[in-house]
Homo-oligomer: A and B are copies of this chain.
């Protein structure tokens, strides 16, 4: 597999999924009371913004991770497809989540479905990283060992974190949505890669 085309294909799926999200906001069904109808849809708008941020940041991180791989083999290609499956699927639980909160029915069920999607995504990320980095299989030669350890801890912690987040969804749907917003901000700050950068500059 050519690395450039795998990245271009992945970028395409990220770009399409992030743009399709808008179709998850339900159309108004009554225009005589439009302001109220649209106001009612604020949970859909919040879910839209949270999922948009998640996919956008994930796309940014996809770049960073793939920049550390020297090439791509069949196994990594399939793990990447699994990751893309969870990204491409996200519009469905996003739409259901927003709609359930709007109707005030089924909100926790919707939060659980959203959370399970995100957890599978976290496992796909971890599998992708472990597959590519174990025994430095696909890593670029210059990639520092400490950074590898930090990233491995980070992706593993991610799977624990998102598994726990499924539990939050069982308790409270709004808390669950807020948590994913907070996680998006956390990943946007990307403290792990800063830590890695600091540790690798300290080493020099």
Interface on A for B, CB 8 Å cutoff?
Answer: 1-2, 5, 7-9, 11-23, 25, 27-28, 31-35, 38, 48-49, 52-53, 56-57, 59-60, 63, 74, 77-78, 81, 84-85, 88-89, 91-92, 95-96, 99-100, 103, 105-106, 109-110, 113, 188, 190
Contacts and interface: CB of A to CB of B under 8 A. Distances in A.
Contacts of A60: 1, 74, 77, 81
Contact of A91 (B12, B22, B56, B188): B22
A174 to B, nearest CB: 16
A31 B105 contact: yes
Contacts of A59: 9
Contacts of A25: 92
B110 A34 contact: yes
Given A31-B100, A31-B103, A63 B15 contact: no
B85 A52 contact: yes
Contacts of A103: 31
A134 B34 CA distance: 41
Nearest to A35: B109
B22 A11 contact: no
Across the A-B interface, the 6 shortest Cβ-Cβ residue pairs? A34-B106, A12-B15, A31-B105, A16-B19, A31-B106, A56-B81
A22 B88 contact: yes
